[in-house]
Every structure is written in C-alpha cells, then in structure tokens.
Amino acid sequence: MLDVIIRPEECADAPAICVVIVAAFENQPYSNHREHHIVDKLRENTALTVSLVAVRDAAVVGHIAFSPGTIDGKLYTGYGLGLLSVAPIHQRKGAGIRLVQAGLKLLEAGGANGCVVLGEADFYSRFGFVVRAAVSLHGFPAEYFLALPFLSDYPRGNVAYHDAFHNVVLARNHINLGS
C-alpha cells in the first residue's frame, strides 16, 4: 500500500491536481482529455463539496471530488463522486481506495443522503456502490451508474451532475463505457 496522506485540497494544490487529472485520463479510451476542466469549473462555481488530495513526499499524487447534483431536476442531499484521479505511477497501490473512503466518510458525517458515481462496478462495489434500477443517468449504460445510500434508500429518478460536467465530459459522443 502506498504511503500517502489524505487531506483537503488547498488553493496552492490546484495546478498539481490538474497535472494528476490530465495524466490519469491520458490513456483512457473513454476520455475526451478535458476532465481537468471539470474540477476547475466546480471550483469556480464553489461546487466542490468535498475535494481531497493524496500527498506523498509533499507532492499531490491523487485527487477526488464530490459535488451536488439533482434528481428529476430537484436538489437532493446526495452527491456525485467525480472525478477520482491518481497519477499513473501510483495507481493500483491503494491511494484511490483511501481517497474514496475518506471522501465518503466526510459526506456521511456531514449528513449526506448518499452518493452516486459513473464508473466501473468492479472498483466501486467494494465501497458499497451498486446499480439501482430506480436511479439513472440519462444517456449512459445502467451498469456503469452506481449508487450508495447512507441514511435510507436512495431517491428514485434521473440524476444530473452539476452543470460543470455537462459542457466538459458528460456528452454521449465523448464517453464510451463499453456500450
């Protein structure tokens, strides 16, 4: 397991976070290589509910962001996980797992109803995320949209991530998650 410190993002971390995100998505077949703009836009809109970094030897090697969204057009007390990024040289060494665990713990302690993520079930199921037929993300295969309730069953309906995602990544023609 990689020895990292997980802590909240600081203003001075922004350039390093951008570098980590770009590197993490560089070779991903579903990427449009604009993911780093999501975090910038979330920051600009003060919509980074939780933003954590993994630091090793004073360098940012990973980042995770959680932001608010809507279900059927109404705000809810759940959050969207996205993005999770770890520098390629440090991937598969536990930094991503520690970021997810720390972020979910903060959300739950803050009274969040739950969390959703667009991602691989093989990875996110270890945290309790599952496909829930009653919760969807328009335009994406159901098997890649996962939910994790904290307090009660997750609300039903169509989830929309914060607007920062829509013009950057969440366009059907930019992401192919195996469909």
Cβ burial 90-118 (10 Å sphere, 16+ → b, else e): bbebbbbbbbbebbbeebeeeebbbbbbb
In a domain, 93, yes or no: yes
Angle between helical axes of 14-25 and 36-44 (0-180°, round to 10): 150
Is 179 domain-assigned? no
Q: Which domain holds residue 18?
A: 5-166
Q: How far apart are CA 17 and CA 83, in angstroms?
A: 11
pLDDT of residue 153: 72
**Which band of pLDDT confidence, cut at 50, 70 and 90, is reported for residue 173?**
very low
What is the rounded average pLDDT of the residues 23-37? 84
174 inside domain: no
Number of domains in the chain: 1
pLDDT at 62: 97
Task: Tell me the pLDDT band of 179, cut-offs 50, 70 and 90.
Answer: very low
pLDDT at 174 over 70: no
Mean pLDDT of 156-174: 70
Instruction: Compute the average pLDDT of residues 25-47.
Output: 87
* pLDDT value of position 167: 61
CATH at residue 39:
3.40.630.30
pLDDT at 28: 80
Residues 97-145 pLDDT 10s:
999 999 999 999 999 989 999 999 999 999 999 998 888 898 888 899 9
Confidence of residue 80 (pLDDT cuts 50, 70, 90): very high
Answer yes or no: is pLDDT of 172 > 50: no
Task: Look at residue 49 and tell me whether its pLDDT is greater than 50.
Answer: yes
Residue 173 domain flag? no
Whether the CB-CB separation of 116 and 145 falls below 8 Å is answered with yes
* Averaged confidence pLDDT in the chain: 88
